[in-house]
Amino acid sequence: MRTDRAGADALAERHARLAAARPEELADGAAPMELLLRFILTHPDLHAVIVGSTRPEHVLANVAAAGKGPLPPDVYEAMRKRLTRADALPSPRTERR
C-alpha cells in the first residue's frame, strides 16, 4: 500500500518530468494543458479519454481543446519523444497490429 509520502513523491516526479519536457515550446501559444490533452487524444490506440475537472471553465477549455482535433504529426512526435522513450508510444501513422 502506498503511503501519502510515496504518492506525493510520485506526483512530484511526474511534475518534474513534465517540466523537463518543456511542452510550452511546442504549444504555439496554446496552454500547455491544451497541448497535453490534444496529445492524449491524438494517440492512435486510445478510443476514450476520461478527463476530470472540478471547475466549469476547465470543462469548457477541455471541450474547446478537443474540438481542435488531433495534433499535427510533427508536434505529436516531438511531444512523444520528450515525454517517453522514442519507442514507447506509436506514432499517429503507425499501422495497428
For residues 14-43, one letter each, b for 16 or more C-beta atoms within 10 angstroms of the residue's C-beta and e for the rest, the string is eeeeeeebebeebbeebebebbbbbbebbb
pLDDT (tens digit per residue) in 47-93:
888 888 899 999 999 999 999 999 999 999 998 888 875 444 445 55
Task: Please give the pLDDT value at position 91.
Answer: 53
Start-to-end CA distance of the chain, whole Å, equals 36
Residue 75 φ/ψ, nearest 5 degrees: -70, -40
| Residue 10 grid cell | 510520485
Per residue in 68-78, pLDDT (tens digit) is: 999 999 999 99
